[in-house]
Amino acid sequence: MKPPVIAFYDSKSYEIDFFENQSKKTGIEFKYFNNRLNSDTVAMSKGSDGVCGFVNDDFSEKVINSLSEFNIPLVALRCAGYNNVDLNAAYKRIHFVRVPEYSPSAVAEHALALILTLNRKTHKAYYRTRDNNFNINGLLGFDLKGKKIGVIGTGKIGKTFIKILSGFGVEILAYDIHPDTEFANDYSVKYVALDDLFRCSDIISLHCPLTPENMYMINAESIEIMKDGVMLINTGRGKLINTKDMVEGLKAGKIGYAGLDVYEEETEYFFEDYSSSVITDDVLARLLTFSNVLITSHQGFFTKEALSEIASVTCSNIISFFKDDALLNEICYKCGNQECRHKKEGRCF
């Protein structure tokens, strides 16, 4: 088999080492581009055997049409999410594979880090003591023990988050369209209706994928029925929250804390350095003014273990296709699931 040549978009220095280690093992030749994939940069993939993309690459119909014209049969997403992919446009033209899981612990632990940091204000204490200010006024927190924490989405990340929380003496409420009652019994989790979770939780953490059905599930109406001073944590997808409604909730004091690793309009800013520029996104700029908001730049996945697994699975997906004509971790074009009744012989078409 001739080693496949893969156009690798939106490449960052911290991930190239991991992929080069896999390249030595598999023979895959990666062509690294700093540019994100879009209609202006898609021509850079011409002559390649496949494309490797990330969360902010554009796989719209226009881009997919170009990839198809270049006879590129495979796109390997080095991420779990695929809401940036027009699956209808790709159907019967290009196969999409992904990394369905890499390190549930990485994202779950980051969610907990956001909770603890917002609560105990360790980020503020760090800067105070660096300036020789040892005053603790304004750093008052609360005990997690005894609080009700609502977990929306009990997939692998949500379950890992719950397992971590179980040692804090909290009461865990959960919502999922496919409840796992056995898991709930093992970890004393109570599945409730979504409105009940909103109404009763002191802290709400989002761990579900983005779908057309749950887009903006956190909005003015759902915020209105939440507890006063509720803490919102989002390490899932930005568009799970209507950010403008959240800003209004923060201004009114309804939302007491917000910890965000994702943002609905993050594509332009996240993963890039704008420290010498003006942020023109008025909503993001407003969020950054709140002292009770903590934003991280989509770094929940960012651990050595996760990056190693992402590189390994992505390369396995690529080699399986080009060497064995097999599709590992293919996205189903009808329902989006990795394993579903629409597939025949492990393929969606």
CA-atom Rg of the chain in angstroms: 21
Find all residues with CB under 8 Å of 22, minimum gap 6, and list them.
28, 311, 312, 314, 315
266 catalytic per annotation:
yes
Decide if 123 is catalytic: no
- Backbone φ and ψ of 136, nearest 5°: -105, 5
Rounded CA separation 171/145 (Å): 8
* Closest C-alpha among 310, 333, 329, 332 to residue 320: 329
- Measured CA to CA in angstroms, residue 349 lies from 186, 306, 329, 342, 343 at distances of 40, 30, 14, 9, 7
CA distance 206 to 153: 7
Catalytic residue among 15, 264, 266, 309: 266
What is the distance, to the nearest Å, from the Cα of residue 5 to the centroid of all Cα atoms in its chain?
27
Q: Considering the candidates 237, 264, 309, 330, report the single residue annotated as catalytic.
A: 237
How far are the Cα atoms of 240, 271, 328 from residue 116, in angstroms, in the given order?
22, 24, 38
- Kind of pairing between the strands at 95-97 and 50-53: unpaired
Measured in degrees and rounded to the nearest 5, phi and psi for residue 205 equal: -120, 130
Catalytically annotated residue among 98, 298, 309, 330:
298
- Side chain identity, residue 177: I
- Active-site residues: which are they? 237, 266, 298
